[in-house]
């Protein structure tokens, strides 16, 4: 089967998954207790006022009816209107999407930049002190929650060591983004680096063991070059795989990081919408997230296949 055919088939498979996602998120968020009308009315919420508001929003219809209306609008490209802001949910999401993409992308790049050299170092000094240090230290990123890491990084690099980085925010212009997003991207990277390091290291070790045996028997080719070439390719394949598989987790992890660094991305939008029971926005964000995740899986598989000729499309 060709690459093109494979991609098309996978994209078609996206449809039932997306459908499943819409059902899941719709019913889940509506089953969550808490009424956005009451939340918005605050202390002034009387039964009458709440009822009026719910009716204005169409929330007093039975759930399946609401779902059908939602799907109907969706097919016209309308993701609903935010209950909190009274603007289109789709517009809100598209506005904030680039910010989160920046965060994830930059974070992934930093994660690779940290993980690849460290795991190579660990793998070449297997079971000796450097190996143990490399495997232990990144766990800081795993054990400390992002809000702790974030504030410590901000305190240290944003204030105490001279104002090297702006405290939170997104910045403007490409260099502005790089500057403002460095610390948050670093926090993301530290969160995922331990997983990357573990799997890269294991992969490299496998390569080393195999290559050592083969090259011991071959002549003419310098052992080192073969080692590095194979190891590197394996490393890239592994990295892509692991990053891809963990993308769901990565994307979710940005939720809290965006809160801490006051980054106006969709993670922050998501958290606030869940807390406010802004159903249309939660639905819109989840849908976009899910599509993104599935596309990333697809991209990962394709990249994997292109890099590793042993993989077949079936």
Contacts to other proteins from residues 152-181, by CB under 8 A: 152, 154-155, 158-159, 163, 166-169
Query: For other proteins, which residue of 259, 280, 283, 301 counts as binding (CB under 8 A)?
Result: 259
| Cβ 45 to other proteins shortest distance, Å | 5
How far apart CA 198 and CA 119 sit, in angstroms, is: 8
Tokens 């795993």 identify what position? 142
Name the residue nearer to other proteins (CB basis): 166 or 228: 166
Residue pair 120/235 in contact (Cβ under 8 Å)? The answer is yes
Residue pair 216/106 in contact (Cβ under 8 Å)? The answer is no
CA nearest to 83, candidates 65, 49, 58, 46:
58
For position 34 contacting other proteins by CB under 8 A, the verdict is yes
Binding-site string for other proteins from residue 107 to residue 146, where x marks contact by CB under 8 A and - marks none: --------------------x----x--xx--xx-xxxx-
Task: Copy the structure tokens of residue 65.
Answer: 């009816």
For position 252 contacting other proteins by CB under 8 A, the verdict is yes
For position 45 contacting other proteins by CB under 8 A, the verdict is yes
For position 151 contacting other proteins by CB under 8 A, the verdict is yes
Residue list 186-215, contact with other proteins (CB under 8 A): 194-195, 198, 202
Based on the number of CB atoms within 10 Å of its own CB, is 192 exposed (0-12), middle (13-18) or buried (19 or more)? buried
For position 21 contacting other proteins by CB under 8 A, the verdict is yes
For position 274 contacting other proteins by CB under 8 A, the verdict is yes
Instruction: Kindly determine how many residues on this chain lie close enough to bind other proteins according to the rule CB under 8 A.
Output: 92
End-to-end CA distance of the chain: 8
Task: Copy the structure tokens of residue 47.
Answer: 């039964």
């Amino acid at each position: 089967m060709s690459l093109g055919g494979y991609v098309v088939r996978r994209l078609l498979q996206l449809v039932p998954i997306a459908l499943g996602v819409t059902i899941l998120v719709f019913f889940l968020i509506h089953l969550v207790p808490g009424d956005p009308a009451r939340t918005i009315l605050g202390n002034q919420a009387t039964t009458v006022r709440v009822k009026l508001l719910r009716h204005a929003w169409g929330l007093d219809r039975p759930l399946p009816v609401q779902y059908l209306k939602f799907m109907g609008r969706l097919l016209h490209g309308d993701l609903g209107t935010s209950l909190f802001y009274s603007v289109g949910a789709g517009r809100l999401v598209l506005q904030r999407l680039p910010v989160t993409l920046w965060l994830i992308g930059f974070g992934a790049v930093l994660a690779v930049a940290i993980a690849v050299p460290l795991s190579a170092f660990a793998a070449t000094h297997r079971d000796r002190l450097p190996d143990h240090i490399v495997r232990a230290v990144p766990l800081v990123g795993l054990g400390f929650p992002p809000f702790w890491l974030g504030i410590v990084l901000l305190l240290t690099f944003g204030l105490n060591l001279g104002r090297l980085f702006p405290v939170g925010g997104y910045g403007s212009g490409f260099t502005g983004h790089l500057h403002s997003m460095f610390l948050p991207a670093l926090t993301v990277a530290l969160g995922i680096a331990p997983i990357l390091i573990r799997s890269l290291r294991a992969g490299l070790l496998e390569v080393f063991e195999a290559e050592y045996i083969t090259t011991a028997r071959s002549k003419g080719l310098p052992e080192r070059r073969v080692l590095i070439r194979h190891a590197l390719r394996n490393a890239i394949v592994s990295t892509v795989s692991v990053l891809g598989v963990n993308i769901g987790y990565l994307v979710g992890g940005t939720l809290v990081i965006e809160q801490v660094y006051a980054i106006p991305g969709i993670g922050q939008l998501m958290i606030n919408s869940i807390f406010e029971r802004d159903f249309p926005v939660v639905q819109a964000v989840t849908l976009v997230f899910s599509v993104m995740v599935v596309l990333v899986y697809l991209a990962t598989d394709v990249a994997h296949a292109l890099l590793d000729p042993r993989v077949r499309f079936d």
